[in-house]
């Protein structure tokens, strides 16, 4: 990347935004976890689940990402957010699923394959779908989620991470529907 291109990069990722009723529950959960673990809770409007983190891209690459998003034939799926976790290395407290729905795995695989095919370098770490609830947290034992949070994913989005004075802000650049089994014979099991 040239110096001029580097100066004009934008930091982006593919993600799922929670539907309003799920957002409500995650918002309350983020409050609860920050009270237990300290740190800075994720703002309500920033609660999301990353599908694939892409990183800094040029305008030309951004255009290619938008084209890739439109090509993906993903199936709608439902997740059970049923566990809380803590990563000591980056001090993130999060919520996630014990089991990843097969449609989510396929969506991730399909996005990754298309991105690789277009020359994007992706994370080598295994994909751990999660919602960051608090940063700079210090968690000991985490509570058990009494009731799983059922999240029906009907679309995915390309999101830009914008640096703000206090905290990064996430802005949806485009979103695409995930089809239901009725629309198309894909992911009937989800």
Does residue number 92 form part of the binding site for ligand 2AM (CB under 6 A)? yes
Alpha carbons 24 and 129: distance in angstroms, whole number: 19
Total residues contacting ligand 2AM (rule CB under 6 A)? 7
Does residue number 53 form part of the binding site for ligand 2AM (CB under 6 A)? yes
Question: CB of residue 57 vs ligand 2AM: minimum separation in angstroms?
Answer: 13
Query: In 3D, which of 44, 168, 40, 152 has the Cα closest to residue 103?
Result: 152
Alpha carbons 25 and 78: distance in angstroms, whole number: 16
β-strand partners of 81: 149
Question: CB of residue 186 vs ligand 2AM: minimum separation in angstroms?
Answer: 26
Does residue number 50 form part of the binding site for ligand 2AM (CB under 6 A)? yes
DSSP secondary structure letters along 25-42: HHHHHHHHHHHHH-SEEP
Task: Name the residue nearer to ligand 2AM (CB basis): 170 or 187.
Answer: 170
List interacting residues with ligand 2AM (CB under 6 A): 13, 50, 53, 92, 123, 132, 161
């Amino acid at each position: 990347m040239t110096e001029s291109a580097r100066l004009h990069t934008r930091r982006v990722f593919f993600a799922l935004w929670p539907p309003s009723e799920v957002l409500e529950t995650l918002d309350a959960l983020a409050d609860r976890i920050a009270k237990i673990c300290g740190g800075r809770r994720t703002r309500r409007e920033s609660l999301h689940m990353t599908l694939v983190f892409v990183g800094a891209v040029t305008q030309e690459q951004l255009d290619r990402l938008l084209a890739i998003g439109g090509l993906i034939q993903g199936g709608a799926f439902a997740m059970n957010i049923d566990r809380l976790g803590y990563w000591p290395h980056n001090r993130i407290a999060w919520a996630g699923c014990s089991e990843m729905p097969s449609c989510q795995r396929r969506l991730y695989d399909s996005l990754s394959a298309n991105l690789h095919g277009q020359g994007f370098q992706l994370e080598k770490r295994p994909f751990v779908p999660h919602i960051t609830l608090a940063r700079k947290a210090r968690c000991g034992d985490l509570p058990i989620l009494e009731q799983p949070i059922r999240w029906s994913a009907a679309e995915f989005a390309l999101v830009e991470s914008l640096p703000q004075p206090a905290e990064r802000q996430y802005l949806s650049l485009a979103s695409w529907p995930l089809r239901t089994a009725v629309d198309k014979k894909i992911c009937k099991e989800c």
